[in-house]
């Protein structure tokens, strides 16, 4: 006579505190999709180049219709290719869009992708989040975010300055050079950035941590960091992942940016399972469906309808 199998163990998954922006709450039951609108003509992916304001507004309307909770606007290409853009030109690119977006969608969460404090200051009154993808390069930025009442994204770039592409990147610490050295560096930098944001006056519920894949990392570094998303979540702040069509996806699958959707969505599902709350994405509708499905599999979000097998 065989014995009954043991009861399944309770499912324990990483969860982070809620993110609260503009009165909206995002957590494991309601992950946020952050749509990207680039006010540039040289974005790495041709599908998101909106130098003309009219084109940018068309992209905004499409993103909202597809399920975006947050819209992140940037005025400067992240990598070193392309022309230099000074602060005045960056403000001229992003501020008209932010003002028009706020007028069109008063309750939409608006994010500004910048590393410059003067650009963030110019957006006072219209921006809810400052997405500092260059890890506090401008030490005044976090104070400006606090002063204008915005949240802030704390990132990890391996110490590289803005618009720097990684070359011959190595991570090593007292424990030796191994694949976990990059994870330990990410955790230390993000924890320090979040503490600095709190010290500057940004409320804890408005602070995001982003391991910032591709920035200051090889493809192998990005893959191992993604595998350790649960450790990032354990820092105790909402996690943002910017995975969309990135080079680590392209190099892993040997695909150009136009062909990276499926790889991006696979990475998105893993990140969602491991505790990420906010997903910066070019492909809003597909990302919305993936993160909602993962939230339901995790048991955080009920199905919209559940009639199969019912009487």
Taking only the tens place, the pLDDT of each residue in 143-165 is 999 999 999 999 999 988 898 88
- Strand 240-242, strand 207-210: pairing: unpaired
What is the reported pLDDT for 233? 98
Contacts of 182 (CB under 8 A, 6+ apart): 171, 217, 221, 224, 225
Q: Which of 235, 242, 241, 243 has its CA nearest to residue 197? A: 235
Kindly report which listed range (6-10, 154-158, 202-206) carries the lowest average pLDDT score. 6-10
The string of DSSP letters for 165-201 reads ---S----BTTBSSHHHHHHHHHHHHHHHHHHHHHHT
Residue with tokens 């982070």: 16
Is the pLDDT score of 248 beyond 60? yes
User: Coil, strand or helix: which one is 233?
Assistant: helix
Q: Which of 181, 166, 167, 179 has its CA nearest to residue 216? A: 166
Taking only the tens place, the pLDDT of each residue in 253-297 is 999 999 999 999 999 999 999 999 999 999 999 999 999 999 999
- Strand 151-155, strand 207-210: pairing: parallel
What is the reported pLDDT for 78? 79
Q: How far is CA 277 from the centre of its chain?
A: 9
Is the pLDDT score of 124 beyond 80? yes
- Domain residues for the domain of 150 are 23-297
What is the reported pLDDT for 43? 66
Q: How far is CA 28 from the centre of its chain?
A: 15
- Is position 311 within any domain? no
Pick from 23-37, 39-53, 168-182 the range whose average pLDDT is largest. Answer: 23-37
- Is position 308 within any domain? no
Taking only the tens place, the pLDDT of each residue in 108-119 is 999 999 999 999
- Is position 12 within any domain? no
Give the total number of structural domains in the chain.
Answer: 1
> How confident is the model over 11-38, as a mean pLDDT?
96
- Is position 11 within any domain? no
- Is position 303 within any domain? no
- Is position 307 within any domain? no
Is the pLDDT score of 81 beyond 80? no
What is the reported pLDDT for 70? 98
Measured in residues, the chain has a length of 311
Is the pLDDT score of 179 beyond 90? no
Give the DSSP H or E segment for 248.
helix 247-253
Average pLDDT, the chain: 93
Using CA atoms, how far apart are residues 41 and 92, in angstroms rounded to an integer?
14
Kindly report which listed range (19-33, 44-58, 71-85) carries the lowest average pLDDT score. 44-58
- Is position 302 within any domain? no
CATH code of the domain in which 240 resides: 3.20.20.20
- Is position 190 within any domain? yes
Q: Which of 142, 144, 149 has its CA nearest to residue 109? A: 149
Contacts of 201 (CB under 8 A, 6+ apart): 143, 146, 147
Q: What percent of the chain has pLDDT over 70?
A: 96
Is the pLDDT score of 33 beyond 80? yes
The residue among 77 and 197 whose pLDDT is bigger is 197
Q: Which of 213, 276, 216, 282 has its CA nearest to residue 244? A: 282
Residue with tokens 């050295």: 181
CB 110 within 8 A of CB 101: yes
CB 76 within 8 A of CB 38: no
Taking only the tens place, the pLDDT of each residue in 216-246 is 999 999 999 999 999 999 999 999 999 999 9
């Amino acid at each position: 006579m065989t014995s009954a199998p043991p009861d399944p163990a309770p499912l324990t998954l990483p969860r982070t505190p809620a993110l609260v922006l503009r009165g909206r709450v995002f957590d494991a039951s309601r992950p946020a999709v952050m749509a990207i609108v680039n006010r540039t003509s040289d974005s790495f992916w041709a599908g998101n180049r909106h130098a003309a304001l009219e084109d940018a507004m068309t992209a905004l309307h499409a993103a909202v219709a597809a399920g975006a909770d947050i819209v992140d606007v940037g005025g400067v290409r992240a990598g070193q290719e392309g022309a230099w853009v000074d602060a005045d030109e960056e403000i001229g690119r992003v501020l008209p869009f932010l003002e028009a977006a706020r007028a069109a969608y008063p309750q939409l969460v608006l994010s500004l992708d910048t590393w410059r404090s003067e650009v963030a200051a110019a957006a006072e009154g219209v921006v809810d989040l400052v997405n500092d993808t260059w890890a506090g390069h401008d030490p005044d930025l976090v104070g400006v975010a606090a002063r204008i009442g915005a949240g802030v994204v704390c990132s990890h770039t391996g110490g590289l300055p803005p618009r720097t592409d990684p070359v011959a990147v190595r991570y090593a610490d007292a424990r030796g050079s191994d694949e976990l050295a990059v994870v330990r560096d990410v955790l230390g930098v993000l924890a320090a950035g979040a503490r600095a944001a709190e010290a500057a006056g940004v409320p804890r519920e408005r602070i995001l941590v982003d391991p910032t894949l591709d920035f200051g990392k090889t493809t192998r570094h990005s893959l191992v960091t993604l595998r350790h998303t649960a450790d990032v979540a354990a820092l105790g702040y909402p996690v943002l992942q910017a995975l969309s069509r990135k080079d680590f996806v392209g190099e892993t699958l040997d695909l150009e940016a136009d062909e990276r959707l499926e790889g991006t969505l696979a990475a998105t599902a893993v990140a969602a399972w491991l505790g990420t709350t906010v997903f910066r994405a070019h492909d809003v509708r597909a990302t919305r469906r993936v993160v909602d499905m993962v939230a339901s599999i995790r048991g955080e979000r009920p199905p919209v309808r559940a009639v199969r097998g019912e009487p």
